[in-house]
Amino acid sequence: MYVQALPLYARNLGVMLPPLVAAAIGIGVNYFGSWFSEPTGGATMGIFVFIERVIWGFGFAVAVIFADDAWRHNRASLQSAWNIARRKAGDILMAVVGFYFLIYVAGLVGGIVPVPYLADVLQALAVWAFLYSIPAAAMGGVPAGGAFSVSLQTARRHPLVTLVLTVVSIAVFYGLAMYLLAHVGVYLGAGFDVARLLLVAFSLGYIALVVARQYADFAFRSIW
């Protein structure tokens, strides 16, 4: 699946457009947040970072819908994916906010206990448990309140496969959008934001493809 996603990605580059637009809006929010938070010494910047991540999450959800269509028909329609996302916008946004909140709580709990890397481990565990929550709301039409239960049940039924998917998703996003950007960004100057847009969009596009395929294989076969 992970290798099969690459040629499918090449035929459906539109899968990275929703994350690209979301990342562009997110940069605008980030710059506004920096300006707005300057008088308070950055005290309110966390709110704007959260808003940026929620926008990323909605863009990712649209990409997941697009990716599911691409797997089913080899070609996907961006207009169709957007129309579906608009109809499910409320549940998608609630799923995105809940996903980030659960990861935040996991990191908060891990930070209380003075054990090295415990916060990172608990956050990764939260991703493993709730990785399918956004696809459940976006693809499966599951109400946001039930999306987390569906995700947890799916992860528990298929723990090892979900673990691999979690590791790949984290590695792709942090490897490209964080690690690579941090190391090459110092040489890009004014091109830093452009590189950030492209790396975030490319990584989320690939993750959308593999997550959509995995969720479809599991959910529609074993849950519904």
- Among 133, 123, 2, 125, which residue's Cα sits nearest to residue 60? 133
* Residue 152 contacts residue 167 (beta carbons within 8 Å): no
**Model confidence over 137-194: pLDDT tens digits?**
999 878 888 999 999 999 999 999 999 999 999 999 999 888 888 878 777 777 888 8
- Total domains in the chain come to 1
At residue 220, the pLDDT reads 65
pTM: 0.92
Report DSSP letters for 91-119, one per residue. Answer: HHHHHHHHHHHHHHHHHHHHHHS--TTHH
CA–CA separation, 103 vs 107, rounded Å? 6
**Model confidence over 62-118: pLDDT tens digits?**
999 999 999 999 989 999 999 999 999 999 999 999 999 999 999 999 989 888 889
Cα angle 115, 117, 122 (rounded to 5 degrees) comes to 95
Helix (H, G, I), strand (E, B) or coil at 57: helix
CA–CA separation, 19 vs 2, rounded Å? 19
DSSP state of 25: H
